Each structure stands twice: as structure tokens, then as C-alpha cells.
A and B are shown apart, each in its own frame.
Chain A
Amino acid sequence: MSGEGFNKDISRRTFVKLAGVALAFPSCSFLKEKDSFPVTIAGSASKTGHLLRENKFPEPAETVRVTTLIVGGGISGLSAARWLKKNGLSDFKLLELDTEAGGNSKGGENAVSRYPFAAHYLPIPNEKFQELIDFLHEHAVITGFDQNGLPVYNDYYICFEPEERLFYRGLWQEGLPPKTGLIDEETAELARFMKEMDRYKEHIGSDKRKSFTIPLELSSTDPELMKLDGMTMAEYLERENYKTPFIRWYLDYCCKDDFGTSIKNTSAWAACHYFACRTGKASNADASDVLTWPEGNNFLAKKLLSEVQSNVEVQMLTYKIEQVGDEWHSYVYDVQNQKSIKYVSKSVILATPQFVNKKILSLQTAVNWDEFSYYPWIVANITIHDKKSLNGGVELCWDNVLYNSTSLGYVNACHQSVNVQEKTVLTYYYNFSERSAREERQEIYSKDENYWKNFILEDLRTAHPHIAEHIESVEVNVLGHGMISPVAGFRTSPSRAKLAEGHSGLYFAHSDVSGISIFEQAFYRGICAAKQALQSNQRA
């Protein structure tokens, strides 16, 4: 501003005067934005897990014999345990390194609400997935069956309206994709895509199987469809000539949300599976409905756990597994008592992710561990003391997403409570998959509380400029290896086939054996591995 004939001195003084006027006004609230709430980083389990890297454990002090040993207490491990028990085997142990079972379906609780650490919901299941329907019925998630034999779900567990909203072009729009606010080209492309996915829903492959279903393993292997696995979703969109930024953003959001990586990595087969596999029928809900609880899928984890509680031991880190003759020797570090135990068993069910198995298995195998990719996540539970402040245009929904933000938005943990309450907990999700998983991981591990506070605030402020004033506390969960990502080629990968087959007495249950990380798959893989173990125990 120093053009010729311009007196700097005076210009400054005049401006200071004007600024002084502005400052003198009492209620310039932007000058004193409050963000002094506490932020904590959770994650004791990852610390325990990192002991594996140092690999310095004491010699085992005792030996314990069981028929079957299950390693890992996520959904898959718990489901395997439940299956063993249901089928008459009680001589087994499930060992979990964390302070409680649940894995990605763990939850927490504070004075306001229960909330999930990761998994939040289960879509209305395929009504023909009998084992799952039975489980839900046993635990009164399904309260009965109607005259057509369709399951009746507990009303309080079906996600209430309003379910989803999108902050799009400065406004909250109802629905995701939004019911209003899109321009014609965007609506048209979306409709074209959905039509194609609806076609897939009905489609039967050349092997007479449904093209896309859950469990995923029962889907058709028609070579035409398998071609979709050879490309990424980004390539698919290119090939099918989708142009609008909206549909790219939307599908990228979906892939990150469900598969933990962007369309640039996700297999097009997986993405189509996501849209085409949900055809579950219910008496009082649609295929597009979801079941959810304040604590998310921890509700289901607890139900599984209740059936096998006495067989579960926590804070037990398995660090080595080897085959000795017909038997399996598993070396386990008891974190609390700081001693090691050797478990000897006829069979082992590994319900741990492959990046862990790679480290603990002493075994020659054809599995290429590096095929399994896990991108990092943060999940933050944000306690809000004035829920109403989050309304605006559309009331606070269950799922609240910000268009063009790189986050996945937030879920209102208290959505399923019927009573009026002022406070709530929001579960905020962020998936880091722009760069390689390793780079992203290094980066997020180096960040402190303050960094995450600003990171989250900056994102949420686009939709809620004053949100900092309404936050009571934030608990950040840093997940170095979030979930298995179904990258292009995963469906046809020989390594996965190998894992599913197992290894005379050693069976793999983790959801990553199927390549996608959802409750149903973890539940299913647990049962498959349990069946294999039961058979192998009989042979031995």
C-alpha cells in the first residue's frame, strides 16, 4: 500500500483508529474462541502390540494344554469361539492382547453415552445367512419372524430417522447422496450408476450364483465379473465415462468409509459388491436400513462374548506359533504378570490380522503377506454439551458427512436414544490413504493431542463454525492398521485362497481372509475356521 504520494504514517494511524473501533465492541466473539477442552489419545493395545517388534520375551514358565487355541478376540475370534462351544467343544482358550475383547468392535463409555472405537453398524443382513440370523435371534436383536418367515428386528436397533445428511455447498442437505441440491448432470450420473448396481443386485453369474452376496465367498466367480477385480474403482469410473466430481467424491467417500482406502486403490469388484450385495429382507426394515447402537458393534461383540466369557483371557500377547509334530506350540506373553506361557494344542485358530501373523508364525508358507494392505485411521469421540448447536437446515442425523472434506464426517452416538437430551457424543472418522500406508502410519504416530485437536476442529468448522465452544472433551483413537483394504486383485488373490484353506491344524479366521472388513465377514470367517478346527481335531 505504499503507492506514490501516499503517506504511510497516516494510513497506519487511520487504520489503527478504525481497528480500535472494531475492537472496542464487546461481543466480537471471534476474538475469544474457546477451545480449552481436554483431548486424550487412547491406544494401550497398540503399545502392547509393538512389543512384537522388539521380540524380547521371557522363556515360558509354564505349559498349558488345550484342544484348540484361538488367538485374537475380535469379532472373528469370538465367533469362532462361539461356534466351538455350540458344537460341544469347551476345552479351548481365546487369547486377546488388549484389556478386553472386541478388536475393531470395541467401545468406550463416558458420563454422556457409550460410543464405539471403530465399527458402528450392521446393515440388515441377508435373510438367508442362517448362522447370522440365528445369532441375532438368540440375542433378541431379531425378536421373531412374521407370517412370511421374515425376521422382525427390534425397533430400537433399526437406525431412526433422520439417518443421513450432507453438508453440501454451504447447507445441510437431507440424505446421502442428498435428496436435493444436486445439479442435473450429477443426479443423472448418480442415477446411471445406481441403475447399474441395481442390475447387479439381481444378476446371476454363469455359475448360477448371485453375482454379489454376503458372505462374499458365495458370490459368483463368473470370469466376466472377475474382470472387475482387475481394475481399481477409479479406473472403472474412467472406463464407464463418469465425469462429475460429485460421483467421484461420493464413491471415494464410500470406499474409504467401508474399505479404508480411496477409489484409486479399491478393487472395482469390491466397490460394486458394496452396492449390490445388500438385499437383506426383513419384516419391519428395508435392505438399505442399518442396525446400530450407541456403542456401535461393541453391542454385538459383547453378545458374542457373553457366550464364551469363561474361555477368554485378556492381556495375553501371542508372539510365536510353531508346529511340533502333530501339535502346535504357541508362545504367549502375559502382559500383567510379565511372564510367558506355552500353549500346546491340537489346533490353532488365528483370528489376528495378517500383518501380525507374518511376525508370529514360524512356518514355511506360500502366502504373500505383503498383499494385505491396511491403511491407518483415526476415530475420535467428541463429547458435545449442546446437541442443538449441531442442527441447522436439517436436524442432526445419525451419519453426518461433509462434502469435499477428506474426513468421513461423524456419527451421532446418541442417535438411538429415544429421550430428549442436551449432550451427545459424536464419533468422528478419518481414513489416511492418500499416500502409502507406511508413510501415513509414520506420520500419524508422530502427532500429539494438540495436533489432532486442530486437525478435527479445522475440518468440522466448515459446517459448524462455533463447534469448539460446544465441545466438552475429545478422545482420539489412533489405529495404525485400521482394516483390511480390498485393493484391486484381492478377490482373485492366491494368498487369500491359501489362508482360507488353512494348514493341517492351523486355521485363519480374521476378516482379512475374505478381504473386506465387515461384521458379517468376520463372523463368517470365524465359523469357517472353527469348522475346520473341529474337523481337524477329530482326525488327530
Chain B
Amino acid sequence: MSGTREKKNQLLLLISVFVIATCGLIYELIAGTLASYLLGDSVTQFSVIIGIYLFSMGIGSYLSKFFRTNLLVWFIQIEILVGVVGGISSTLLFFSFEHASGFHIILYSLIVLTGTLVGLEIPLLMRILKDEFDFSELVSKVFTFDYIGALFASILFPLFMVPYLGLLKTSFLFGLLNVMVAIILCFTFESIKYLSFLRIQAIVAAFLLLIGFVFAEQIQSYSETITLGENIIFSKSSPYQRIIVTSEKGVTKLYLNNNLQFSSADEYRYHEALVHPGLSRIKEPSRVLILGGGDGFAVREVLKYPTVSSITLVDLDSAVTSIFRQSDFLSALNSGALNSPRLKVINTDAFRWLKENSETYDFIVIDFPDPSNFSVGKLYTTSFYKEVRKALAPGASFVVQSTSPYMARKSFWCVNNTIAATGFKTMPYHVYVPSFGEWGYVMAFDTLAAKSYYIPQQLKFYDEARYAEMTTFPKDMAYEPTEINKLNNQILIHYFEDEWGRVQ
């Protein structure tokens, strides 16, 4: 009876070898993968990480000689530690990536720590088992299990874990397995010291890892919150984008896909500069079209012109236009503009709408997101501006938000040059918006009045004197020749990627 029991225990320990080996390799693979995801250059990342990991295992093996008594207790304790450290490693790395300078340090410390702990495991285990088997038997058994585990991990990881679970879940899962080994061991060997301490520890660890596993997705999306570092008062994923509104110290901000769209502290600068230089030069404007700008700020500015009798707002995302209309908090910011009886809101794709449109307008405001991907890039092409021309009444003009001429000089001038290549005269200008920096716009027309006809009284920033200032460009933002952005080259998004990529 006691013989079988002993055998049972031996077997359990050998199975632990298998699990440990699998988990150990998985942690190494996770670190390597994450490092190549986040830092790029997978070959370097992988080799450095494997090297450090193996070296740390060496350290662990070396340290194992200092453990003299209570080997099984130590082994179980180490299992729990490995499980916790390995289990949370990828979450930790994801979060710490935001603080780019510390990332390498955290990455390598984690690897050294995990490697050392994993390196302790096998030597300790062999010493635990040394009296149960003869030496050659022991070495052969332990290493067989060790290498089978490694093979298992290396196959499982790319084929199942990464595609089906993702990195966060995978590390929680294997952390959990490590801790399960500890739990099973401390419920099997009931005669060891510190038993209840180990049991409680192991169960708490398992519980935490399980929670991590279940909520991995939420954790991932929480990391967005961390990036913004502000209180989120509203967040929603529409079919088109992730909308986040934050509020901190009385300042409200809107982020679409984590890009800042406005800050209530200074959005008036941006929106006054967007609307007034152009609209004030139209004689008695009556019909205005706004493409994009679902937050209603441009509408608010246009409503300041008494002659304007109808505004059409075309924005893709009904989720944006509806919160800016319905929420008291947000519609206070745009002075309830989206509820104006003079406004008609259409939620559809602007390009398609424009292609089908047959009406004309006295002024068109084009306020799209920056050209950071191909679908938005289409809205900055010659083909798009040709469609815009069809919607212009005689003597009408339009304005396009055109990213920052300081941060993305080529992109800015590319927008200008593309509009010019479509047969318009242009007037590029810029303004300083504290939360964005230097920002640019391009006005386009066939003829432009030299002076404004009418400027609304209540403006906080714009007046005729600003115009001259805004339309002169200092040397570091001065004109540059560029290629023309077309549907079949989308050169603008390449410029944009290059320029903003450098900044970020």
C-alpha cells in the first residue's frame, strides 16, 4: 500500500517536471514575442531574450545549492512564485510599454527573475527525487520530461495559444498551471512544514491568476485609459471607431481611436479658425455644408451667421452626432448646436454622399480626421476634391483641416498641392491651438474677397487682424513641393506616417 503511494508521489513530481518545463518555455516565448511586437526587430529581440533567459536559468541552478533543507517546501514556494511572475508578465509588459524608457529595464528584469526561478526548479526537484531513483534513472527521467514539455510548449504556443488566446490570456493560463502544480503538491504531501501557509498562498495566487485570465480583455482595454491618464466619462465602440470622452479639472476632451479631437479649453481657437476666415468672406451665405465634425463645434460657429438658413452636416458616425446632441453635458459645450432647427444631420459616408449629391452650397467645411489610414486618405484625394467642386455654388469656397504644418509639413503642403492640382486657388493658413500645437487649414476657391463681409461679434479669438498673421508662414513651416495625393497612390498617408511616426 505504502509502496504504491510512494510511486504515486514520484509520478506526481515527474509530471511537475513536464508542466514546469512547458510553462518555463512559454514564458520565454511570451517575452520574446511581446518584445518583438512592441520593440520590433524580432531576430534581435528573440536571441537576446533567449540568451538572457538561459543565462538566468544558470544563475538559478547555481543558487540551488544554497537551499539545504525543506526542499519540497522551497520547491512549492518557487512554483507559486514562478506562476505569479510568469502569469502577470505579459500584462506587466503591456502596461509598462507606455513608459518607453523604463520598458527595457522591466522586460529584462522580468526575464532574469523568471529565468532564475525556473532555473531553480529542476535542480531542486532532482535533489528531492535523488533517493527515490538511482542516479542514471533519475537524470534520464527528469530530462526526458523536461524536453518533452519544451517540445509541447513550442508547438502549442504558435499554433494555439497566440492565435486563440492571445498573449495576456496565455500567460495567465500557464501561470495558473504552475500554481496548480504547487496546489496539487501541497495537498498530496501532507507531512511537510508550513503546510497551511503554502496552501493559502497557492490558492490566493491561483484565484488572482484566474481572475486575470477571465478579465484579460478588460485589462487590455483598460490600458487605453492608462495611456490617456484622465477620467473617462464616456466610452463606446461604434462600428467605425472607439469614442472616449474624458473630463479632468473642468476640461473635457474627445478622443477618437485614441487621437485627441478637441479639448474644451481651447477648441474655440481651432473651430473659429476653421470656419471664420472662409465663411466671413462669402457675401450673405445662406447654405453651408459641413463634412465630418460630428461634435457640433463647427455648426456652432456657422450658426453665428444670421444669413445662414440651412446647414447640412454629413458625419459617418451616428454614435458621435447623437451623444453630442443628447448629452446635456456635451451639448452645453457646442451650445446645443446639433439641436438647431436650421441643421440637418446625415449619418453616412461623406465621399459616397457627395458623389450622389446634386445640391450646391455657399461654403463647405471639411473637418475629417487626419489621413492616418487608407480609408480616411481617400477623403484627401483629387477625386474627392473634384466631387467637392460639383457641390459648390458660384462664388463659393471651402476649407479643409489639414493637420499640423509644423509637425507634418509635407503632409500639410500635400493637401494644399492636391487641392491646387484639382484646379482651385488655395489660401493655406495656420493657427496655434495649445493642446494640438501649430495647426493648419487650406482654403480653396476660384475667387476670394479681399476683406470679410461680416464677422460675428461674440468670437473669442478670430478677428480680421488675425487673418494676415495666420496666412504668413515662418520658415520652419514654409511651402514645400510634394506629390499629388490620388486614389491610386495615396501618397499623403505615407507622408503622414513618416512625419507623425517620427514625432511619436
A422 to B213, CA, bound (A): 30
Known: A25-B213, A161-B374. A7 touches B488 (CB 8 A): no
Name the one of A17, A27, A30, A419 contacting B352, with C-beta atoms under 8 angstroms. Answer: A419
Contact partners of B383 in chain A: CB under 8 A: 155-156, 418
Cross-chain contact A285 with B352 (CB below 8 angstroms): no
| Count of B interface residues, CB-CB < 8 Å | 44
Contact partners of B164 in chain A: CB under 8 A: 28-30, 465
1/0 per position for A281-299, CB-CB distance to B under 8 A?
A: 0001100010000000000
Cross-chain contact B373 with A395 (CB below 8 angstroms): yes
- Cβ-closest chain A residue relative to B161: A30
Cross-chain contact B486 with A284 (CB below 8 angstroms): yes
Of B64-72, B107-115, B172-180, B335-343, the one with at least 4 CB within 8 A of chain A: B172-180
Of B4-12, B85-93, B264-272, B394-402, the one with at least 4 CB within 8 A of chain A: B4-12
Name the one of A27, A160, A465 contacting B487, with C-beta atoms under 8 angstroms. Answer: A160
A417 to B382, CA, bound (A): 15
1/0 per position for A407-448, CB-CB distance to B under 8 A?
A: 000000000011111100000000000000000000000000
Q: Does B316 lie at the interface of the complex (its beta carbon under 8 Å from any beta carbon of A)?
A: yes
Q: Does A350 lie at the interface of the complex (its beta carbon under 8 Å from any beta carbon of B)?
A: no
Q: Does B328 lie at the interface of the complex (its beta carbon under 8 Å from any beta carbon of A)?
A: no
Cross-chain contact A422 with B239 (CB below 8 angstroms): yes
Beta-carbon contacts under 8 Å, A381-424 to B: 395, 417-422
Contact partners of A160 in chain B: CB under 8 A: 374, 378, 487-488, 490
Cross-chain contact B374 with A162 (CB below 8 angstroms): yes
A122 to B248, CA, bound (A): 56
Cross-chain contact B8 with A7 (CB below 8 angstroms): yes
A9 to B173, CA, bound (A): 26
Cross-chain contact A7 with B239 (CB below 8 angstroms): no
Q: Does A11 lie at the interface of the complex (its beta carbon under 8 Å from any beta carbon of B)?
A: yes
A418 to B349, CA, bound (A): 9
Q: Does B34 lie at the interface of the complex (its beta carbon under 8 Å from any beta carbon of A)?
A: no
1/0 per position for B145-183, CB-CB distance to A under 8 A?
A: 000000000000000100111000100010011001000
Cross-chain contact B316 with A420 (CB below 8 angstroms): yes
Cross-chain contact B240 with A161 (CB below 8 angstroms): no
Cross-chain contact B375 with A420 (CB below 8 angstroms): yes
A29 to B160, CA, bound (A): 10
Known: A161-B490, A418-B383. A18 touches B160 (CB 8 A): no
Cross-chain contact B7 with A465 (CB below 8 angstroms): no
Name the one of B349, B374, B377, B381 contacting A419, with C-beta atoms under 8 angstroms. Answer: B349
Total A-B contacts with CB atoms under 8 angstroms apart: 90
1/0 per position for B201-242, CB-CB distance to A under 8 A?
A: 000000000000110000000000000000000000001100
A464 to B391, CA, bound (A): 41
Beta-carbon contacts under 8 Å, A6-43 to B: 6-7, 10-11, 14, 17-18, 21-22, 25-30
Q: Does A159 lie at the interface of the complex (its beta carbon under 8 Å from any beta carbon of B)?
A: yes
Name the one of A7, A17, A395, A465 contacting B374, with C-beta atoms under 8 angstroms. Answer: A395
- Cβ-closest chain B residue relative to A422: B239
Cross-chain contact A285 with B180 (CB below 8 angstroms): no
Contact partners of A289 in chain B: CB under 8 A: 488
Q: Does A158 lie at the interface of the complex (its beta carbon under 8 Å from any beta carbon of B)?
A: yes
Q: Does B243 lie at the interface of the complex (its beta carbon under 8 Å from any beta carbon of A)?
A: no
Distance (whole angstroms) from the CB of B237 to the closest CB of chain A: 12
Q: Does B322 lie at the interface of the complex (its beta carbon under 8 Å from any beta carbon of A)?
A: no
Cross-chain contact A10 with B180 (CB below 8 angstroms): no
Known: A18-B180, A420-B375. A158 touches B487 (CB 8 A): yes
A312 to B502, CA, bound (A): 60
Contact partners of A6 in chain B: CB under 8 A: 11
- 16 extra A-B contacts, CB within 8 A, seeds A284-B486, A418-B352: A7-B8, A17-B184, A21-B177, A25-B214, A160-B487, A161-B489, A162-B374, A163-B488, A417-B352, A419-B348, A419-B352, A420-B240, A420-B316, A420-B375, A465-B164, A466-B163
Please give the residue numbers on chain A whose beta carbons come within 8 Å of chain B beta carbons, in ascending order.
Answer: 3, 5-7, 10-11, 14, 17-18, 21-22, 25-30, 155-156, 158-163, 284-285, 289, 395, 417-422, 465-466
> What would be 21 A-B contacts, judged by CB atoms less than 8 Å apart?
A5-B7, A6-B11, A11-B11, A21-B180, A22-B173, A25-B173, A30-B163, A30-B164, A155-B386, A158-B488, A160-B490, A161-B488, A161-B490, A162-B374, A163-B488, A289-B488, A417-B352, A419-B351, A420-B375, A422-B239, A466-B163
